[in-house]
Chains A and B, each alone.
Chain A
């Protein structure tokens, strides 16, 4: 069903426009965005079922030939990511509607949120490096607005760091695109897949490294993570939850997509492994030092990005399957943890551990809601985290990467330690007095304290997502099989290229482009083959 492919992008964009039109009525805005995101979940599931049964689906917007037009592709990896992303987006928007103060005061919240949803979907579905840039920009621009929506001083300060770092990454991305285009004459991923392999080793390595840095900034890899724990916690909790769950994972998706499709085996394994290991260790150590619940969890995101990179670094089917499974699991679990963090803040009146305490008496449900994803993140058996970690560690052991096995298991233990810090501090420790001598306000935002820990609209989505991680753990067999199939697609790019460019070789597709009338200029640098190609590349170097 090729018609389905553009819809997860187009629907939220159209809904964003409608949402502005009905801006006077909050109720209509909510109806529009919740119904749209529900529809996107349905679409995503339909795409996943379709892709898993029949293989990769590709479509060309406006019917322009493959290397020139706007290509949308869904393979198993992107379809899985799309499903879990849309589920999380839906759950978080319901939570945001339920939370007092998060979106009620802003006309623009729902429409900007829908643009973010469209950007995330576009990033997963695009088959074109430049449109990946556009999709990521769409998503990031929406996130700039969401993170500074309150206009408070700390939000402006943190938002500034976030915007400037993201823009620098985007400019680097653009420069990397320029280099890629001048070396190959195309930005279509499937087309690039063949062309890049023909380039000299040095050019390949340079491009691969540049793309790793660009997406590494977005994903929060080891030396490039510094902006993340600084900026995420200042936003309202639903916004932080969606950032933590999705934005960094889009970076991870882009890393996995580009490194497997465009640069297989170009970056040395030791480099990827070293970055992955350092990311894990630094992230978890940073988390342990924090006192604020949201900051602690933000540092934690970084640590777990390392696991996904480790799966990529192994470059085997088992490793990539582990990375895919881990990413899906992490999106769910991290979002749940941040939503629970928001509930803790709502119920306890603060997100600082030194001011919280004894919440197990007031809100026992919150304790359970925190414990389930926390144990899952640490990798305790019945949850999805156990399967995810086990598959990665197993894959690493198969490749005899013993150092990584040790590091990842040790980091799991430290994860447990860091999360127990929240567990003990917020739920079991006696209430500490505030700095001004009186105990912290029970519920800073007023209203009666509920034993459920918050309004039903906030609690229910969190419960559903928390159950999700348990279900993923119990039913991990089918999902792991799906991840393995997705990883098989990633290791062998041949079907992807064929699905996008058609059955014939690349040259044939080019000829089609010529016939279409848009192609002649393209033909110059491209059809000229080796010698013409080497000229500009050599001159540039």
Chain B
């Protein structure tokens, strides 16, 4: 029986975690519900099993431990409240965006883009410099011996430019 309860808690945790990793808010909320149930099942099983604890009705040593049950009841009430709030939030999100997908952090992307933009500028400058060098090279080559030969200096030039870009 204990193994069964442990397995129940474990599968609730597993399912909850899977749903939590989705992008849709509705699934995340269901996932949180399952995780909460998993924790509650775990907690109820933390106490001793036995008969209903009624003083005077039976031998105290056969009582079930009432403490975890009382505590879990509190936890259930709390998760009820927070789930209601989450559902309201999801509804609000759906009203505002017609979607309940959790969006990325705009500010994070802005910071990332700022760094990226700097790098792009550097790259462009490097590319321009390389192009200048290679076109200068080709121009000389073009003036030189033949067109056909082992020419293709643009192709020969590109591998040289790559390693210089790599460290960035």
Please encode chain A, from 508 to 540, with 1 for each CB lying within 8 Å of some chain B CB and 0 for all others.
000000000100111111000000000000010
Query: Do B64 and A521 touch across chains, with their CB atoms under 8 A apart?
Result: yes
Residues on the B chain within 8 Å of A104, using CB? none
Cβ 8 A contact of B42, one of A130, A170, A178: A178
Query: Do A163 and B89 touch across chains, with their CB atoms under 8 A apart?
Result: yes
The listed residue with most A CB atoms (<10 A of its CB), out of B25, B66, B71, B97, is: B71
Closest-by-CB residue of B relative to A523 is B60
Query: Do A522 and B65 touch across chains, with their CB atoms under 8 A apart?
Result: yes
- Chain B interface size, as a band, is 35 or more
> Which residues of B (74-93) have their CB < 8 Å from a CB of A?
74-75, 78-79, 81-82, 85-86, 89-90, 92-93
Report the separation of the CA atoms of residues A315 and B108 in the bound assembly, to the nearest whole angstrom: 37
Residues on the B chain within 8 Å of A170, using CB? 78, 82
Please encode chain A, from 170 to 204, with 1 for each CB lying within 8 Å of some chain B CB and 0 for all others.
11101101110110010100000000000000000
User: Chain A's nearest CB lies how many Å from the CB of B15?
Assistant: 13
Closest-by-CB residue of B relative to A144 is B85
Check if B142 is an interface residue, CB within 8 A of chain A.
Answer: no
Cβ 8 A contact of B74, one of A134, A233, A517, A525: A134
User: Chain A's nearest CB lies how many Å from the CB of B14?
Assistant: 13
Check if B39 is an interface residue, CB within 8 A of chain A.
Answer: yes
Report the separation of the CA atoms of residues A144 and B32 in the bound assembly, to the nearest whole angstrom: 16
Query: Do A524 and B61 touch across chains, with their CB atoms under 8 A apart?
Result: yes
Cβ 8 A contact of A157, one of B45, B60, B86, B103: B103
Residues on the B chain within 8 Å of A539, using CB? 2
User: Chain B's nearest CB lies how many Å from the CB of A195?
Assistant: 14
Residues on the A chain within 8 Å of B71, using CB? 130, 177, 181, 187
Check if B157 is an interface residue, CB within 8 A of chain A.
Answer: no
> Which residues of A (153-170) have their CB < 8 Å from a CB of B?
153-154, 156-161, 163-164, 167-168, 170
Check if B147 is an interface residue, CB within 8 A of chain A.
Answer: no
Interface window among A51-59, A287-295, A361-369, A400-408: A287-295
Closest-by-CB residue of A relative to B59 is A520
Counting residue pairs across A and B whose Cβ atoms lie within 8 Å, the total is 133
Cβ 8 A contact of A156, one of B39, B48, B79, B96: B96
Check if B46 is an interface residue, CB within 8 A of chain A.
Answer: yes
User: Chain B's nearest CB lies how many Å from the CB of A514?
Assistant: 9
Query: Do A179 and B28 touch across chains, with their CB atoms under 8 A apart?
Result: no
Report the separation of the CA atoms of residues A295 and B106 in the bound assembly, to the nearest whole angstrom: 12
Query: Do B46 and A178 touch across chains, with their CB atoms under 8 A apart?
Result: yes
Query: Do B67 and A520 touch across chains, with their CB atoms under 8 A apart?
Result: no
Report the separation of the CA atoms of residues A292 and B114 in the bound assembly, to the nearest whole angstrom: 13
> Which residues of A (140-161) have their CB < 8 Å from a CB of B?
141, 144-145, 148, 151, 153-154, 156-161
Interface of A is mostly: helix
Check if A137 is an interface residue, CB within 8 A of chain B.
Answer: yes
Cβ 8 A contact of A134, one of B39, B61, B78, B111: B78
Query: Do B103 and A181 touch across chains, with their CB atoms under 8 A apart?
Result: no
Query: Do A145 and B85 touch across chains, with their CB atoms under 8 A apart?
Result: yes
Check if B110 is an interface residue, CB within 8 A of chain A.
Answer: yes
Query: Do A525 and B89 touch across chains, with their CB atoms under 8 A apart?
Result: no
Residues on the A chain within 8 Å of B75, using CB? 133, 174
Query: Do A181 and B82 touch across chains, with their CB atoms under 8 A apart?
Result: no
User: Chain A's nearest CB lies how many Å from the CB of B18?
Assistant: 13
Residues on the B chain within 8 Å of A394, using CB? none
Closest-by-CB residue of B relative to A231 is B105
- Tell me whether A163 and B82 are in contact in the complex, defined as CB-CB below 8 angstroms, given that A171-B32, A178-B42 are known contacts: yes
User: Chain B's nearest CB lies how many Å from the CB of A234?
Assistant: 9
Cβ 8 A contact of B65, one of A160, A174, A521: A521
Report the separation of the CA atoms of residues A225 and B149 in the bound assembly, to the nearest whole angstrom: 62
Closest-by-CB residue of A relative to B56 is A517
Query: Do B63 and A520 touch across chains, with their CB atoms under 8 A apart?
Result: yes
Cβ 8 A contact of A181, one of B43, B53, B63, B114: B43
Cβ 8 A contact of B32, one of A158, A167, A178: A167
The chain A residues found within 8 Å of chain B, CB to CB, are 68, 130, 133-134, 137, 141, 144-145, 148, 151, 153-154, 156-161, 163-164, 167-168, 170-172, 174-175, 177-179, 181-182, 185, 187, 230, 233, 289-292, 295, 517, 520-525, 539
The chain B residues found within 8 Å of chain A, CB to CB, are 2, 20, 25, 28, 32, 35-36, 38-40, 42-43, 45-48, 53, 55, 60-61, 63-68, 71, 74-75, 78-79, 81-82, 85-86, 89-90, 92-93, 96-97, 102-103, 105-108, 110-111, 114-115
Q: A144-B85, A148-B89 are in contact. List 4 more A-B contacts (CB 8 A).
A: A141-B82, A170-B82, A517-B55, A521-B66
5 chain-A/chain-B pairs, Cβ below 8 angstroms:
A134-B78, A163-B86, A181-B71, A182-B45, A521-B67
List the 5 shortest-distance A-B pairs measured between CB atoms, nearest first.
A520-B60, A182-B46, A178-B43, A174-B39, A181-B46
